[in-house]
Amino acid sequence: MTVAKELLGKLLVHETKEGTTIGRIVETEAYEGPEYKASHAYNNLRTERTEVQYGPKGHAYVYQIYGMYFCFDVTSGRLVGKPEAILVRALEPIDGLGVMMRRRGVSNGQIANLTAGPGKLCAAMGISKKQNGVDLCVPPLRIETGGTRDERQIVQTGRVNIDYADKWKYLPWRFFIKNNAFVSRPN
DNA sequence: TGCACGATTCTCT
DNA sequence: GAGAATCGTGCAA
As a rounded value in angstroms, the CA-to-C1' distance for A152 and C5 is 40
Mean per-residue pLDDT for A101-111? 88
Chain B: positions less than 7 Å from a protein CB are 5-10
Q: What is chain A's mean pLDDT, rounded?
A: 95
Contact (CB, 8 A) for A80 and A19: no
State pTM to two decimals: 0.96
d(CA A114, CA A100): 7
Nucleotide nearest to A66 (CA to C1'): B6
Nucleotide nearest to A70 (CA to C1'): B8
Residue range A47-85, pLDDT digits in tens: 999 999 999 999 999 999 999 999 999 999 999 999 999
Residue range A6-49, pLDDT digits in tens: 999 999 999 999 999 999 999 999 999 999 999 999 999 999 99
As a rounded value in angstroms, the CA-to-C1' distance for A135 and C2 is 41
d(CA A174, CA A1): 9
Q: How confident is the model at residue A108 (pLDDT cuts 50, 70, 90)?
A: confident
